[in-house]
């Protein structure tokens, strides 16, 4: 009997990896609609889902129109909370925070050393549209700094933060307001000029399961992983996000 039990125990241990692989293979593939500023970090946390990265306002509109999303991760609480009030998502949870910086090309053709230089120098400034979170946060920062007059120097308004970073990296603009996490992936071409802490808006990321999801159990498990899994939290921190 003891020999039989030992043999069965060894067989069970040997079978565990195969059982885990089978469970992973049978799990539904989630579709996650996430803010563009999460483009790098979410796939590092989990490569398996199908991701749709864009401006949070665009993603919220797509969910309202019936897009087949399982999870919504927004760069501003308002979009997730509005969908919650409309009963289109389950209760949102805050999972990260961020800060704004002024991004400039490494070559720095405008000679900017401070955000306050925007007032006195001729610059080509790129910002987000007023509807996208980065655009709303940018306008709040400028109001806090008493510098809304620099909006007259805007040459382009972009639909998401990655479009702003792209123009800066390509040298098509002298400066643009972005999240600090968006500079890190292109730090060989873009540099971050800090913004005073007292002028910073409260940038909170919220995540929620979409009400029309057909994979609610898996989606809820994924949300819990982002909120609680030590590896997921570590990767968010390494990417420059604040942890909530």
Interatomic CA distance for residues 88 and 70, integer angstroms = 11
Yes or no: say if 34 and 73 are a contact pair by the CB < 8 Å rule: yes
Residue 5 within any structural domain of the chain: no
Mean pLDDT of the chain: 91
Residues 192, 162, single domain; the answer is: yes
Q: What is the pLDDT of residue 10?
A: 40
Closest CA to 74 of 222, 199, 203: 203
Residues 120, 193, single domain; the answer is: yes
State the residue for tokens 């990321």.
205
With a cut of 70, say whether residue 43 has pLDDT above it. Answer: yes
Summarize the confidence of residues 167-188 as an average pLDDT.
96
Angle, vertex CA 222, rays to CA 40 and CA 76, nearest 5:
60
Residues 179, 104, single domain; the answer is: yes
Q: How does residue 208 score in pLDDT terms, banded at 50, 70 and 90?
A: very high
Residue 186 within any structural domain of the chain: yes
Residues 192, 149, single domain; the answer is: yes
CATH label of the domain that carries residue 191: 3.40.190.10
Closest CA to 129 of 53, 54, 207, 41: 54
Residue 230 within any structural domain of the chain: yes
Q: How does residue 26 score in pLDDT terms, banded at 50, 70 and 90?
A: low
Residues 79, 132, single domain; the answer is: no
Residues 6+ apart with CB under 8 A from 142: 148, 150, 151
Cα pseudo-dihedral 42, 69, 97, 185, rounded to 10: 30
pLDDT tens-digit series, residues 142-164? 999 999 999 999 999 999 999 99
Residues 148, 57, single domain; the answer is: no
What domain range is 151 assigned to?
A: 100-199
Residues 92, 76, single domain; the answer is: yes
Q: What is the pLDDT of residue 244?
A: 74
Yes or no: say if 51 and 34 are a contact pair by the CB < 8 Å rule: yes
Q: Which residue has the higher pLDDT, 28 or 177?
A: 177
Q: What is the pLDDT of residue 211?
A: 97
Q: What is the pLDDT of residue 30?
A: 98
Residues 104, 194, single domain; the answer is: yes
Q: What is the pLDDT of residue 27?
A: 76
Q: What is the pLDDT of residue 192?
A: 97
Q: What is the pLDDT of residue 187?
A: 93
Overall domain count for the chain: 2
Q: How does residue 231 score in pLDDT terms, banded at 50, 70 and 90?
A: very high
pTM score of the predicted model: 0.87
Summarize the confidence of residues 38-46 as an average pLDDT.
98
Residue 190 within any structural domain of the chain: yes
Residues 163, 193, single domain; the answer is: yes
Q: Which residue has the higher pLDDT, 16 or 236?
A: 236
Residue 22 within any structural domain of the chain: no
Residues 107, 225, single domain; the answer is: no
Q: How does residue 4 score in pLDDT terms, banded at 50, 70 and 90?
A: very low
With a cut of 90, say whether residue 102 has pLDDT above it. Answer: yes
Range from 10-24, 82-96, 219-233 carrying the lowest mean pLDDT: 10-24
């Amino acid at each position: 009997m003891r020999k039989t039990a030992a043999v069965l125990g060894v067989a069970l241990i040997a079978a565990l990896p195969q059982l885990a692989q089978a469970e992973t293979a049978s799990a539904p593939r989630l579709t996650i609609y996430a803010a563009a500023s999460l483009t790098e970090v979410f796939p590092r946390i989990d490569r398996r889902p199908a991701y749709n990265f864009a401006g949070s306002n665009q993603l919220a509109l797509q969910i309202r129109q019936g897009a087949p999303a399982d999870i919504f991760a927004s760069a501003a609480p308002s979009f997730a909370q509005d969908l919650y009030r409309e009963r289109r998502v389950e209760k949102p949870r805050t999972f990260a925070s961020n800060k704004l910086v002024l991004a400039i090309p490494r070559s720095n053709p405008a000679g900017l050393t401070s955000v306050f230089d925007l007032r006195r120098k001729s610059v080509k400034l790129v910002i987000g549209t007023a509807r996208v979170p980065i655009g709303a946060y940018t306008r709040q920062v400028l109001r806090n700094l008493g510098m809304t007059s620099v909006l007259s120097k805007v040459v382009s308004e972009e639909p998401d933060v990655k479009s702003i970073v792209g123009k800066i990296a390509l040298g098509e603009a002298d400066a643009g307001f972005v999240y600090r996490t968006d500079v890190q992936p292109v730090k060989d071409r873009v540099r971050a000029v800090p913004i005073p802490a007292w002028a910073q808006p409260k940038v909170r990321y919220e995540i929620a399961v979409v009400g029309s999801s057909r994979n609610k159990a898996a989606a809820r498990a994924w949300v819990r992983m982002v909120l609680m899994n030590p590896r997921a939290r570590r990767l968010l921190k390494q990417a420059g996000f604040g942890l909530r």
